[in-house]
């Protein structure tokens, strides 16, 4: 082609340009082009996302680097080379932004200090639970504006809850429970209107509830339990209409339950237990128709159980125990058809057990014990076919056990002890084939046990003691070999020991004492590797002790006294290394005392008296350094008294009387500084009484009669101030008797039959004066005359003062006259001053009240503060007649007691007033209040340390020791309880309230009506009504346990001993203060010993006071988890 042929003309060129322009316009609106544009634009956004994601990664890696992890690799997937959305615990949204972090359960050991919350603006879920976090919660957590679920539970976080949490407006679930958070709950939390679940429980939060809590209208679950919250529950709680769970237990809340709580109609579980709530239970609680669980126990509620509680037809568990509820159990309770657990124990409920209770056919556990219920056990109780546990003990129930009880075929535990039940045990009890515990002790049951009891093959605990049962024990009581504890003491059972017990290897505690059981003991006893306690005393058992008794390696007490056991002591006894008490007294045991008994290094009581033992006393006995009671009297022992006995420095009683011992009394006996009773009478001892006996400062009773002792009684006996009873009759003693109280109070019978004793006992010759004495008398006679004149004058003055004091009682009988006696003040002026200071005894000055009166705080015109106890004076018609009413007796008793006694640990009486208008006593005012209030206030109790508590126990013991042993006549307080122990600001003790005090009268009956505080009174008072020092000793034991436990030990002292033995030491220590350190723990354990000894043995208060005066120290060689049974064994204490 010619080149010129391809050259286009201008027209086609213009056309081409037009076409190309059109294509360009169309292309800009084509989808493919539009897509390419979006890609180009999003690339810039992608750069932004990658930047944000990189910030999240960097923030997490920085936080990870701050964690410790205890040497283990931490979160290995958290690595910059791995996409963050693939890391453990991480969840992302579609744009790969982190919205959830959940790594609970890892041991990361770190803080939140380096956690950059602002790097996660899209996060909705943050769960860092149980990863060992410590430190505080940073305020920057408020930057997580999209968060709806926050969980920091089960860590070690401390400090306060930041106010910034109130900015998390989307939050629905907040879990901060189980940390160490403190301070108040910030009111800002109440701004979280969407909050559904709030868990702040198990922290150290303080302060009171905010009324603004009612703003959380979406709340369904609120748990603030186990903190230190105080104050009242606000009425606005009733605004939480969606609430299903409300847990406020174990705080320090006070006041009453607001009636508005009845508005929470969605509530399913309510727990307000273990607070200090008081007042009546509101009737509006009956509106909570959906309530399944109701826990109000361990508070101070009073009044009756509201009838409206019967409207809670969905209720399955009702626990109102440990309050001060009174009145009858409402019959409406029968409407609770779904109820499975009903606990009303430890209150003051009266009336009978309602027969309507038989309608609760879903009931599994019923506990009404420790009340004042009376009447019969209703037969309708047999309708409770699902019942597993029935506790009605410690009431005043009468009548027989209904035969319908045999219908309770699911029953495993039946405890009816400490009532006044009588009659026979119904044969239908044999239907209870699942029964494991049967406790019927301390009642009035009689007759023989039904043969059907042999069907109770699952019994682990059988307790029938202190009744009037007769006949044989069930032969198959341990047929299936599961019995652990059998106690049938103090009955009239006859026949042999049940044959099934011989092969019952599970036995732990056996008490068959004080019955009339017969048979050969060698055939009755089997092999018991777990046996801890065996008491067969006061029966009619015969035969020889079997050698296999030495296999009882865990036995701590063996008593088989007052039987007809014969033969020699088995040598195998030496294998019982844990034995504390060995009592084989009053039998026909013969042969010698083997020296191998000295291998029993934990023995503290060895009683072999009144047998037919021969030979000498092995010196090796003196190596048992734990011995407290050694009695070998009334045998045929010969030889001398081993001087090695002087090594047993803890010995309290040594009785070797009625043997054929000879030689002199070893001087080493005077080393027994704790000895209280020494009886060496009825032997052939010679020589002089050791003059070193003056060292026996604890000795109270000394009997050396019917020996051949000679010489003079040393004048060092004058220094034995504690000696009360002495008998040195029928010896060869001569010379003057010592100038001591014991000898001055002795009768002629205590010194007769000697060679030439003389002195000031009626019937004994007067000692002649020596020549030197006559000269001295001439010199001293004028001096004596002058002194005598002075003494007559002084005596006249004391007589007048004494007459004034004695006239107090006579004048107080009058109720129409006025009597004022305020020491060192004008009585009438002081009376008017007190009336004015208390504004006529206005209730606002009242600081306490009791049965006979109320106590008021009065600031006198001199600015002195006194305590005024105003007695409740009854109307005139109540005091007409010759019988003195109770308040007058209390008034007189208190005045008489406090006039007679002076002691640093007894409250000081300033004076009294008796008039028709008012009768009151004026005391010193003690700012520390009473012990009951101190222990019930958690904050105050937390500052009441172990040493202070020990010193309180010692102060009370010293006061009681003074009253029992140093006052004449002795004074019994009769109402030792925590409410009557007053304290100053230094915790110095002052025993108060002597309104029920009793002066002991040696020559008259000391029986009286019941007095004291329930829970502190000795149990024997219920049936003996005999007042003696032991009543105060028991109360002191309860009080001391209360000091150790921080609460009244009701559960502990009312529990079966087997359950007490299995309790751990740490369970009975007050949890509000740290465990004591080793240097004071040994001392505290000795106080615990004394407390349980008071409950079991009733030592004298002098022994108790001396025991508390000796500080123990040492290293704790056992753990807090040690069982009390094992601890008692190690300490040589047997209950």
> Residues annotated in the binding site for ATP, as ranges?
870
In angstroms, rounded to a whole number, what is the distance separating the alpha carbons of residues 421 and 446?
A: 10
The set of residues, in sequence order, having a beta carbon less than 8 Å from that of 875 and lying 6+ positions away, is: none
Are 138 and 114 in contact, with CB atoms under 8 Å apart? Answer: no
Handedness of CA 305, 307, 310, 315 (dihedral sign): negative
3 state DSSP class of 68: coil
Q: Which two tokens stand for residue 530?
A: 């777990």
Calpha distance 398→562 (Å, rounded): 34
Phi, psi of 245 (to 5 degrees): -130, 125
Instruction: Kindly give, in sequence order, each residue whose CB lies less than 8 Å from that of residue 1078, ignoring residues fewer than 6 positions away.
Output: 1114, 1115, 1116
| Residue 860, helix vs strand vs coil | coil
Burial class (CB in 10 A: 0-12, 13-18, 19+), 816: exposed
Look-up of token digits 């105060």: 1032
Asked whether the beta carbons of 887 and 850 are under 8 A apart, the reply is no
Distance of alpha carbon 252 from alpha carbon 229, whole angstroms: 6
What is the spatial distance between Cα 1039 and Cα 1053, in angstroms, rounded to a whole number?
12
Q: How far is it, in rounded angstroms, from Cα 903 to Cα 906?
A: 5
Cβ neighbours of residue 272 closer than 8 Å, sequence gap 6 or more: 233, 248, 249, 253, 257, 295, 296, 299
198 bridge partner residues = 174, 222
Q: In this structure, what token pair is assigned to residue 180?
A: 């160490």
Please state, in angstroms and as integers, the Cα–Cα distance from residue 728 to each residue in 457, 658, 673, 704, 735, following that order. 59, 15, 21, 5, 13
Token code pair at residue 139: 């305020």
Q: Longest Cα pair distance anywhere in the chain, in angstroms? A: 185
Chain mean position to CA 763: 55
Spatial separation of the C-alpha atoms in residues 679 and 696, rounded to whole Å: 13
Q: What are phi and psi of 308, to 5 degrees?
A: -65, -15
In angstroms, the first-to-last Cα distance of the chain is 135
Helices (H), 29-180: 31-65
CA distance 333 to 294: 14
Q: In whole angstroms, give the CA distance from residue 660 to residue 707.
A: 10
Binding site per annotation, positions: 870
Q: What is the DSSP string of 1017-1031?
A: S-TTHHHH-B--HHH
- Give the span between the Cα atoms of 914 and 814, in whole angstroms: 9
DSSP bridge partners of 245: 221, 269
Q: Distance between CA atoms of 944 and 929, rounded to whole angstroms?
A: 13
CB burial of residue 594 (10 Å; 0-12, 13-18, 19+)? middle
Give the C-alpha separation, 360 to 337, whole Å.
5
Cα–Cα distance between 171 and 189 in angstroms, integer? 10
Q: Is 357 exposed, middle or buried (0-12, 13-18, 19+ CB in 10 A)?
A: buried
Residue 448's SS3 state is strand
Would residue 975 show up in a list of annotated catalytic residues for this protein? yes
CA angle 1054, 379, 467 (to 5 degrees): 40
- Out of 239, 513, 727, 975, the active site residue is 975
Indicate the pairing of strand 865-871 with strand 919-924: antiparallel
Which residues partner with 183 through β-bridges?
Answer: 205
Instruction: List, by residue number, the catalytic residues.
Output: 975
């Amino acid at each position: 082609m010619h080149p010129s042929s391809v050259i286009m003309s201008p027209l086609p060129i213009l056309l081409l340009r037009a076409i190309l322009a059109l294509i360009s316009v169309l292309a800009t609106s084509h989808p493919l082009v539009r897509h390419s544009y979006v890609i180009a634009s999003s690339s810039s956004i992608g750069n932004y996302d990658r930047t944000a994601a990189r910030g999240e990664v960097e923030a997490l890696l920085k936080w990870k680097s701050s964690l410790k992890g205890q040497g283990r690799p931490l979160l290995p997937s958290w690595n910059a080379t791995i996409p963050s959305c693939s890391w453990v615990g991480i969840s992302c949204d579609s744009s790969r932004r982190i919205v959830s972090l959940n790594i609970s359960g890892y041991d990361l050991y770190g803080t939140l200090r380096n956690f950059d919350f602002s790097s996660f603006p899209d996060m909705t879920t943050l769960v860092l639970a149980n990863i060992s976090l410590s430190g505080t919660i940073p305020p920057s957590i408020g930057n997580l504006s999209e968060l709806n679920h926050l969980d920091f539970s089960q860590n070690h976080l401390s400090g306060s809850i930041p106010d910034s949490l109130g900015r998390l407006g989307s939050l629905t679930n907040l879990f901060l429970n189980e940390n160490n958070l403190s301070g108040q709950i910030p009111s800002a939390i109440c701004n979280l209107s969407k909050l559904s679940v709030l868990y702040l429980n198990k922290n150290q939060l303080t302060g009171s509830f905010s009324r603004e809590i009612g703003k959380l209208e979406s709340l369904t679950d609120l748990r603030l339990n186990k903190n230190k919250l105080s104050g009242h529950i606000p009425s606005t709680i009733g605004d939480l209409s969606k609430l299903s769970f409300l847990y406020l237990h174990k705080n320090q809340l006070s006041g009453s339950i607001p009636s508005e709580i009845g508005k929470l109609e969605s509530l399913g579980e309510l727990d307000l237990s273990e607070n200090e709530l008081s007042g009546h239970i509101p009737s509006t609680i009956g509106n909570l128709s959906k309530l399944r669980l109701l826990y109000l126990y361990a508070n101070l509620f009073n009044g009756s159980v509201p009838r409206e509680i019967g409207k809670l037809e969905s209720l399955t568990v009702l626990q109102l125990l440990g309050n001060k509820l009174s009145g009858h159990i409402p019959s409406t309770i029968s409407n609770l058809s779904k109820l499975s657990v009903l606990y009303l124990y430890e209150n003051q409920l009266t009336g009978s057990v309602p027969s309507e209770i038989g309608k609760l056919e879903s009931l599994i556990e019923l506990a009404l014990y420790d009340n004042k219920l009376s009447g019969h056990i209703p037969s309708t109780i047999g309708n409770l076919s699902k019942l597993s546990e029935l506790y009605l003990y410690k009431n005043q129930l009468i009548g027989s056990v209904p035969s319908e009880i045999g219908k309770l075929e699911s029953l495993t535990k039946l405890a009816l002890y400490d009532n006044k039940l009588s009659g026979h045990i119904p044969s239908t009890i044999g239907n209870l084939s699942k029964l494991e515990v049967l406790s019927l002790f301390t009642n009035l049951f009689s007759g023989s046990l039904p043969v059907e009891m042999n069907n109770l093959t699952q019994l682990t605990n059988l307790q029938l003691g202190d009744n009037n049962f007769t006949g044989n024990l069930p032969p198959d009581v341990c047929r299936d070999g599961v019995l652990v504890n059998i106690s049938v003491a103090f009955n009239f059972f006859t026949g042999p020991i049940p044959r099934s017990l011989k092969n019952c290897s599970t036995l732990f505690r056996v008490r068959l004492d004080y019955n009339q059981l017969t048979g050969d003991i060698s055939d009755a006893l089997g092999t018991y590797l777990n046996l801890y306690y065996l008491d067969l005393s006061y029966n009619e058992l015969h035969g020889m002790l079997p050698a296999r008794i030495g296999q009882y390696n865990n036995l701590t007490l063996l008593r088989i006294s007052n039987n007809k056991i014969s033969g020699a002591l088995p040598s195998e006894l030496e294998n019982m290394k844990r034995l504390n008490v060995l009592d084989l007294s009053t039998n026909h045991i013969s042969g010698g005392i083997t020296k191998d008994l000295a291998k029993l290094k934990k023995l503290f009581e060895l009683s072999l008296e009144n047998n037919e033992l021969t030979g000498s006393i092995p010196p090796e006995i003196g190596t048992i350094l734990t011995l407290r009671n050694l009695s070998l009297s009334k045998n045929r022992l010969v030889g001398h008294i081993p001087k090695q006995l002087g090594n047993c420095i803890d010995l309290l009683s040594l009785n070797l009387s009625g043997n054929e011992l000879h030689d002199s009394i070893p001087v080493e006996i005077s080393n027994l500084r704790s000895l209280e009773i020494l009886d060496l009478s009825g032997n052939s001892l010679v020589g002089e009484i050791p003059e070193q006996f003056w060292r026996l400062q604890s000795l109270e009773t000394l009997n050396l009669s019917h020996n051949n002792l000679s010489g003079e009684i040393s004048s060092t006996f004058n220094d034995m101030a504690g000696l009360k009873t002495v008998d040195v009759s029928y010896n060869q003693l001569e010379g003057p008797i010592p100038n001591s109280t014991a000898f001055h109070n002795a009768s002629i019978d205590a010194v007769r039959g000697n060679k030439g004793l003389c002195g000031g006992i009626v019937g004994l010759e007067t000692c002649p004066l020596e020549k030197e004495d006559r000269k001295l008398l001439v010199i001293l006679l004028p001096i004596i005359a002058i002194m005598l004149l002075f003494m007559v004058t002084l005596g006249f003055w004391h007589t007048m003062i004494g007459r004034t004091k004695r006239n107090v009682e006579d004048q107080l009988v009058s109720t129409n006259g006025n009597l004022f006696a305020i020491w060192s003040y004008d009585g009438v002026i002081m009376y008017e001053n007190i009336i004015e200071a208390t504004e006529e005894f206005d209730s606002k000055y009242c600081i306490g009240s009791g049965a006979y009166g109320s106590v008021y705080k009065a600031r006198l015109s001199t600015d002195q503060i006194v305590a005024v106890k105003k007695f409740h004076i009854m109307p005139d018609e109540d005091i007409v007649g010759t019988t003195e009413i109770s308040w007058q007796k209390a008034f007189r008793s208190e005045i008489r007691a406090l006039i007679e006694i002076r002691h640093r640990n007894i409250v000081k009486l300033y004076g009294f007033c008796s008039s028709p208008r008012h009768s009151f006593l004026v005391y010193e005012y003690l700012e520390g209040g009473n012990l009951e209030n101190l222990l019930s206030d958690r904050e105050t109790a937390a500052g009441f340390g172990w040493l202070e508590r020990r010193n309180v126990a010692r102060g009370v013991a010293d006061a009681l020791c003074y009253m029992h042993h140093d006052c004449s006549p002795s004074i019994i307080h009769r109402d030792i309880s925590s409410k009557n122990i007053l304290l100053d600001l230094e915790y110095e003790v002052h025993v108060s309230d002597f309104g029920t005090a009793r002066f002991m009268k040696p020559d008259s009956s000391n029986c009286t009506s019941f007095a004291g505080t329930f829970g502190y009174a000795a149990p024997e008072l219920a049936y003996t009504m005999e007042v003696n020092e032991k009543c105060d000793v028991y109360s002191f034991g309860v009080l001391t346990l209360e000091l150790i436990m921080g609460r009244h030990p009701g559960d502990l002292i009312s529990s079966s001993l087997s359950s007490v033995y299995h309790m751990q030491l740490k369970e009975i220590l007050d949890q509000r203060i740290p465990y004591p350190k080793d240097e004071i723990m040994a001392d505290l354990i000795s106080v615990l010993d004394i407390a349980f000894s008071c409950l079991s043995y009733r030592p004298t208060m002098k022994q108790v006071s001396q025991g508390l005066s000796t500080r123990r120290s040492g290293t704790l060689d056992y753990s807090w988890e040690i069982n009390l049974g094992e601890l008692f064994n190690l300490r040589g204490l047997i209950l």
